[in-house]
Chain A
């Protein structure tokens, strides 16, 4: 099985709100000293692909579209034991238009493919759009299986467990396919071993320039701000746990919740 995993490097979404700053004029977040990471669902996607290959067989190539420093994300993926890495290198940070990103990735996948399975995180941790996987699926003419948590193979059939609003379901589909992955207790990304990190640093990364993309035909960001909360929390104090609990119960009665 020839497998591709598309990843994106983003500012760590786990940083505290205190460290999150925006440039309202440039309409983007200020990186400052915050770390860059692989977007979390993309790491889950890589983990699902790695588990599949371990149980069955296959070769994994990770792709990213981004500026030169996105190489770090590919190195991490290689350290997690992906086989190959391709950087579709842009001279400018990607914009908000996921169509453009999807089309660049689709071109890269065509050039290095065809792939049997193309994985994506369900959505990027910065744009939270969840569009790129669908764009690539459409560009490559592949069916899409979304919100997948785990993959199993039995004979020549591939089964995907996925999450919906109704619960979980199992889907049968035949490659070639595009797959978006959501987090699950079974696909928490592995932590690379030190030895593998060192090996990954020596690996060759295929770099291809995509230059600078034109402005989006579809969308333009016109404002970015940090919403403020006007809620003032009333702390329920007391000497004993029972005092705090009693005060809470009184409050809930007053608000007619109980």
Chain B
């Protein structure tokens, strides 16, 4: 029997959505026991009923995420149970805490995992390497592991109404903040509107956009479509847009219905962030650009000719 512990966070009382992706991934294992360690404040564990979770360890009283206190809180929850595999979402909190948890527990650690399976030899995980140009399978040689799952790589677990499992809930009060690293201010950013991770439509620009000013073409199109603007790392590094708009393996992982890639070459590390997009449209002057091997529809042309026409056309249709 493999004991899988998924770790969830609820700084505002509501468990993070990616926890249900972790539970979905855990359910693909046979012969497992599933527990949850939840850290946050005023956590409603009823949200977890119907997902096959047997035990929930709640560390309550931490209303705001602070790395050192959350790390200690997760460790406290984990102390109470004997985990074989600890699953965390590879979001910014998971990527910060996961490695340190693994080290403190003496577990193996695998990050940015897109697939995992139990074999006769042990746990085998698949993760992209070389900026997404290749995929590697790793065998866990240890008995235990912390696994950070790439967000949106797994479907959320489905709720079953038929079995109302009694959840055993154990609550600890957090010891509070230790003062080492303190988040003092949320800084405002120019990125307004829908969060990239939740956007249904994204218009993203890359090096081919050419300048900061030219991103206004993308903004107008996004506005008409009710979508958000994103960017490749090249556009961020060029200083044209904020790093919070970066999409890719080291930026946001997005899953829109429509992704319009404008002047984006299609580097694998960028495409790693959009593999869950339902439809990809690419606009690029270079017919040989790798982006066209990911796109469903392609237009080989200058975007500053195409986008104004497209924006106008959509404005007619959608208004």
Q: What residues of chain A have their CB less than 8 Å away from a CB belonging to chain B?
A: 11, 13-14, 16-17, 20, 22, 27, 29, 41, 96, 98-99, 122-123, 125-131, 133-135, 137-138, 143-147, 149, 159, 161, 163-174, 177, 182-185, 188, 216-227, 229, 231, 233-237, 241-242, 244-246, 248-249, 251-252, 255, 257-258
**Extra inter-chain contacts (7) besides given A146-B92, A219-B141, CB under 8 Å:** A128-B132, A163-B244, A182-B243, A183-B233, A219-B138, A220-B141, A241-B305
CA–CA, A238 and B236, complex, Å: 32
CA–CA, A99 and B294, complex, Å: 35
Is B99 among interface residues, defined by CB-CB distance under 8 A? yes
Q: Which residues of B contact A20 (CB under 8 A)?
A: 130, 133-134
CA–CA, A167 and B138, complex, Å: 32
Which listed residue, A29, A96, A147, A257, touches B134 by the CB 8 Å rule? Answer: A29
Closest 6 interchain pairs by CB? A134-B99, A168-B187, A218-B108, A185-B239, A164-B92, A143-B180
CA–CA, A184 and B244, complex, Å: 9
CA–CA, A141 and B280, complex, Å: 46
Q: Are B183 and A169 in contact (CB under 8 A)?
A: yes
Is B252 among interface residues, defined by CB-CB distance under 8 A? yes
Interface pairs (20), CB distance under 8 Å: A131-B109, A138-B100, A144-B100, A164-B93, A168-B244, A173-B180, A174-B180, A183-B250, A185-B241, A219-B140, A224-B129, A226-B135, A229-B294, A231-B294, A235-B299, A241-B306, A246-B313, A251-B297, A252-B279, A258-B318
Is B296 among interface residues, defined by CB-CB distance under 8 A? yes
CA–CA, A143 and B177, complex, Å: 13
CA–CA, A234 and B293, complex, Å: 10
Q: Are A27 and B110 in contact (CB under 8 A)?
A: no
Is B267 among interface residues, defined by CB-CB distance under 8 A? yes
Q: Are A188 and B239 in contact (CB under 8 A)?
A: yes
Q: What is the CB-to-nearest-CB distance from B206 to chain A, in angstroms, rounded to a whole number?
A: 13
Q: Are B111 and A129 in contact (CB under 8 A)?
A: yes
CA–CA, A229 and B282, complex, Å: 15
Which listed residue, A143, A169, A182, touches B187 by the CB 8 Å rule? Answer: A169
Q: Are A223 and B309 in contact (CB under 8 A)?
A: no
Q: Are A96 and B138 in contact (CB under 8 A)?
A: yes
Q: Are A172 and B100 in contact (CB under 8 A)?
A: no
CA–CA, A161 and B185, complex, Å: 9
CA–CA, A245 and B183, complex, Å: 47
Total interface residues on B, CB under 8 Å, equals 91
Q: What is the CB-to-nearest-CB distance from A111 to chain B, in angstroms, rounded to a whole number?
A: 21
Q: Which residues of A contact B300 (CB under 8 A)?
A: 235, 237
Is B184 among interface residues, defined by CB-CB distance under 8 A? yes
CA–CA, A11 and B260, complex, Å: 30
- Given A138-B104, A222-B137: A17 touches B290 (CB 8 Å cut-off): yes
Q: What residues of chain B have their CB less than 8 Å away from a CB belonging to chain A?
A: 67-68, 91-93, 95-96, 99-100, 102-104, 108-112, 124, 127-142, 180-189, 191, 197, 201, 233, 236-244, 246, 249-250, 252, 257-258, 267-269, 278-282, 287, 290, 292-301, 305-306, 309-310, 313-314, 317-318
CA–CA, A170 and B258, complex, Å: 33
Q: Which residues of B contact A233 (CB under 8 A)?
A: 282, 292-293, 295-298
Q: Which residues of A contact B68 (CB under 8 A)?
A: 143
Q: Are A248 and B310 in contact (CB under 8 A)?
A: yes
Q: What is the CB-to-nearest-CB distance from A223 to chain B, in angstroms, rounded to a whole number?
A: 4
- Given A134-B99, A183-B233, A220-B139: A236 touches B299 (CB 8 Å cut-off): yes
Q: Which residues of B contact A17 (CB under 8 A)?
A: 133, 268, 290
Q: Are A217 and B305 in contact (CB under 8 A)?
A: no
Question: Which residue of B136, B137, B252, B292 has the most chain A CB atoms within 10 A of its CB atom?
Answer: B136
Q: Are A27 and B243 in contact (CB under 8 A)?
A: no
CA–CA, A147 and B239, complex, Å: 18
Q: Are A167 and B191 in contact (CB under 8 A)?
A: yes
Q: Which residues of A contact B258 (CB under 8 A)?
A: 252, 257
Q: What is the CB-to-nearest-CB distance from A52 to chain B, in angstroms, rounded to a whole number?
A: 17
Question: Which residue of B127, B141, B246 has the most chain A CB atoms within 10 A of its CB atom?
Answer: B141
Q: Which residues of B contact A246 (CB under 8 A)?
A: 313
CA–CA, A137 and B100, complex, Å: 8
- Given A29-B134, A219-B108, A226-B133: A182 touches B99 (CB 8 Å cut-off): no
CA–CA, A192 and B37, complex, Å: 48
Q: What is the CB-to-nearest-CB distance from A57 to chain B, in angstroms, rounded to a whole number?
A: 23
Q: Are A170 and B268 in contact (CB under 8 A)?
A: no
Q: Are B297 and A248 in contact (CB under 8 A)?
A: yes
Q: Which residues of A contact B96 (CB under 8 A)?
A: 144, 146-147
Q: What is the CB-to-nearest-CB distance from A66 to chain B, in angstroms, rounded to a whole number?
A: 17
Q: Which residues of A contact B112 (CB under 8 A)?
A: 128-130
Q: Are B184 and A171 in contact (CB under 8 A)?
A: yes
Q: Are B124 and A225 in contact (CB under 8 A)?
A: no
Q: What is the CB-to-nearest-CB distance from B173 to chain A, in angstroms, rounded to a whole number?
A: 23
Q: Are A222 and B250 in contact (CB under 8 A)?
A: no
